[in-house]
Amino acid sequence: CRSDLLLLDEPTNHLDLDAIIWLEEWLRHYQGTLLLISHDRDFLDAITNATLYIHNQQATLYTGNYSACERQRAEHLSQQQAAYLNQQQTIAHIQSFINKFGAKATKARQAQSRIKALERMQTIAPAYADSPFKFNFRPPEHLPNPLLHLDKVSVGYSDQIILKHINLVIESVARIGVLGPNGAGKSTLIQLLAGKIPAQTGHITPALHLKTAYFAQHQLEQLRLDQNPLWHLQQQAPRDSEQNLRNYLGSFGFSGERILEPVQPFSGGEKSRLVLALLIYDRPNLILLDEPTNHLDLATRFALSQALQSYTGAVILVSHDRHLLRVCVDQLLLVYNGT
């Protein structure tokens, strides 16, 4: 029987792009009430007509999809900040009168009236942007061109060929998005480029100063759960000063006591941020990302997209996040049917 209420919690996390588009179309025609949790902004924009935004233990309902919610929140924050500044001026003016005339008998009644007005006043909080950090991908030390050349390469596992006859030149300014259905070999291609698996046939020619950073979800499992973010980075950069390491981790959202807390209770998004920070610290000239946004909230996805846009090396990105692909890549590579 048809349902009247459908509850979906991150339904797109493990879907390929074709499946996401199919689900999107199906949900558009769903006749019941839909309550959807997602960090895929394009998916939200296509389906929703109201947005419940939860922040600081408060829930605010906005009319419209996620993009409309962003515009309304920006306007609300702007109005809140203007009201806060106006109130602070009023408070300062009243307090000045109290300080000046509070001791004078002729003005005592007026001063008391103003004191009571201050006590009745409902304080307006200053407005703050949600994202307290932004990623900072430092520029590569070397940027040879091309970075990598694949000539008639085939790759697979044991005697099973997954991809064959790959011809690919990765230039220093490459911004490539990798698309294809689940199981087509996208992750295999990224592992090949990262040097994690060998080519079975053909030739791979890396540049002399090629330095890659490879991110995949399984790397979260390689973190030492009993250790903290600072310890992880110190293992990688033992000669760098603790203050420099702290400053760097702070740009990835790890600061104060958080930088010394064990990784075990961290959320998936926090662990992803830590792995990204560790990978980028060595200033690679080729960043390989395999579904980097799976555990990231919208604010962190925005920070990642900003970092990738300003990064001066090459980027190859496997993702089903259409917004991230749209703003971060200028070429698309389709992996399908073994090629």
**What does the pLDDT look like over 240-260, one tens digit per residue?**
998 999 988 988 888 888 899
Q: Which two tokens stand for residue 1?
A: 């029987």
In CATH terms, 148-334 corresponds, of 3.40.50.720, 3.40.50.300, 3.20.80.10, 3.40.800.20, to: 3.40.50.300
Confidence band for 299, pLDDT divided at 50, 70 and 90: confident
In the chain, the largest separation of any two C-alpha atoms, in whole Å, equals: 99
Confidence band for 210, pLDDT divided at 50, 70 and 90: very high
Determine the pLDDT at residue 283: 92
Query: For residue 338, is it left (φ>0), alpha (ψ between -120 and 50) or beta?
Result: left
Cβ neighbours of residue 275 under 8 Å, at least 6 residues apart? 215, 219, 220, 223
Looking at per-residue pLDDT, the higher value among 93 and 323 belongs to: 323
Chain-centroid distance, C-alpha 5 = 30
In this predicted structure, the answer to whether residue 129 has a pLDDT above a threshold of 60 is no
Lowest model confidence (mean pLDDT) among 60-69, 120-129, 183-192: 120-129
Asked if residue 176 lies in contact with residue 333, where contact means CB atoms within 8 angstroms, the answer is yes
CA distance 283 to 78: 37
Confidence band for 119, pLDDT divided at 50, 70 and 90: low
In this predicted structure, the answer to whether residue 133 has a pLDDT above a threshold of 60 is no
Lowest model confidence (mean pLDDT) among 66-75, 124-133, 212-221: 124-133
Q: Could you tell me the CA-to-CA distances from 209 to 96, 146, 197, 198, 269 in Å, in that order? A: 65, 11, 20, 19, 31
Strand-by-strand arrangement of the 160-170 sheet: 160-170, 148-157, 201-206
